[in-house]
Homo-oligomer: A and B are copies of this chain.
Amino acid sequence: MALIVQKYGGTSVGTPERIEAVADKVIAYRDQGHQLVVVVSAMSGETNRLLELAGQISDRPVPRELDVLLSTGEQVTIALLSMALEKRGCPARSYTGGQVHILTDNAHNKARIQDIDAERVGADLSAGRVVVVAGFQGIDEEGNITTLGRGGSDTTAVALAAALKADECQIFTDVDGVYTTDPRVAPDARRLDRITFEEMLEMASLGSKVLQIRAVEFAGKYNVPLRVLSSFEPGNGTLITYEEEGMEQALISGIAFNRDEAKLTVLGVPDQPGIAHLIVGPIADANIEVDMIVQNMAPDGKTTDFTFTLHRNDYARAMEILQATANELGASEVSGDDKIVKISLVGVGMRSHAGIASTMFETLAKEGINIRMISTSEIKVSVVVDEKYLELGVRALHEAFELEQEAVN
């Protein structure tokens, strides 16, 4: 018998029929002897309906009241799912975030979980009940309703699993696991049985939109085994855990990529301490997120060249800001490109194997793909290339690292 926390997203509970299907699935797990806590999102479309209502009242609704409004979405789902369970003779109890004391800070619309009082949930589980909890929401210390921001239901599930010391946290979604890369780009992409938290974090932040990053961080921090699996298809999905001793690890777990990137370069700035901050600071002050940053000595040996990437939507505004900064600093030139993409190899196996990066560069060179920027970390290598090479590059790398095959032990 295991204690399992399951989370079903908006699509999985999008209609009363689908909620009934979730009830069947939950009961099938329970019939195997497991204890179950089920976290649900708002029915798909519901959050948008509520946002539209708010939009009819105000362009900028007060954050506190927006949370009061949006949190009703999940509350509807928990009630309906509990009704469906009870109809099937399965004792169930629904709880809002506040009712199970999911304590957050008071940052409305993007609150962070600080503590969970698992006592009430534990009592219900001991009494043989399935506990259904509203995802995405909590209360602050004063009892005000907060929300964790869109998609935050994953975090609720992981946090509950951590507080309850659950054996596994299962995230049911509309994909059946984590893939070596996007199958729409590389048709022979393969579903991974396992991946480490660190790899998943790199994959997620690089554009594989399977799980909320914060949920993965949380699961890693509290060592909650996390499984991604499909609401609609059978299968075991992908298990995300810590690397286990003695386990042979694949060199590369997957290839992530980001479309919609842009890069900005400023040439010939004085090479002095603090120059990076002088350049990036004004961009950050404008609430523009900078991704990769690369700095190189200029050919003259006295000045430095500075390049960074950001989201394409922020390109024009960042360019303006950078030009002003460049003038102040007496830089020789500012240039940019908003037709680039980023491709990243991710794998904890890199730590113990040399030559990954050079195989990557060689593979891309063979295809005639020019690398515009490189950035590396312990478990990933990212390159920036022209937009038009995205598909070709991902497919070539997928093949070169034989990701379509299971790792050989």
Contact = CB atoms under 8 A, between A and B. Distances in A.
Interface of A: 16-17, 19-20, 50, 53-54, 56-58, 61-62, 64-66, 68-69, 71-72, 75-76, 78-80, 82-84, 86-87, 92-94, 96, 98-99, 143, 145
B84 A57 contact: yes
21 contacts: A16-B56, A17-B56, A53-B76, A54-B79, A57-B83, A58-B87, A61-B83, A61-B87, A62-B83, A64-B94, A65-B83, A65-B92, A65-B94, A66-B83, A68-B75, A68-B79, A68-B94, A69-B76, A72-B76, A98-B98, A99-B145
A93 B65 CA distance: 8
Contact of A53 (B16, B56, B75): B16
A80 B54 contact: yes
A80 B69 contact: yes
A75 to B, nearest CB: 5
Kindly name the residue among A20, A82, A98 whose own CB sees the greatest number of chain B CB atoms within 10 A: A82
| Copies of this protein in the complex | 2
A257 B65 CA distance: 44
Chain A interface mostly: helix
A78 B62 CA distance: 12
Contact of A75 (B72, B83, B99): B72
Given A65-B94, A98-B98, A58 B83 contact: yes
B57 A19 contact: yes
A57 B87 contact: yes
A84 B62 contact: no
Given A62-B86, A86-B62, A68 B57 contact: no
B143 A99 contact: yes
A68 B78 contact: yes
Given A16-B57, A61-B86, A68-B96, 15 more contacts: A17-B56, A53-B80, A54-B83, A58-B86, A61-B83, A62-B82, A62-B83, A65-B82, A68-B75, A68-B94, A69-B80, A69-B83, A71-B75, A72-B75, A99-B145
A76 B98 CA distance: 17
A201 B86 CA distance: 40
Contacts of A62: 82-83, 86
Contact of A76 (B50, B56, B79, B99): B50
B65 A79 contact: yes
A58 B66 CA distance: 31
Contacts of A69: 75-76, 79-80, 83
Contacts of A66: 79, 83
A327 to B, nearest CB: 41
Contacts of A56: 16-17
Contacts of A53: 16, 76, 80
A19 to B, nearest CB: 7
Q: Which 10 A-B pairs have the closest CB atoms?
A: A69-B79, A16-B56, A72-B72, A68-B79, A65-B82, A61-B83, A65-B79, A58-B87, A62-B86, A57-B83
Contacts of A72: 72, 75-76, 79
Contacts of A83: 54, 57-58, 61-62, 65-66, 69
Nearest to A99: B143
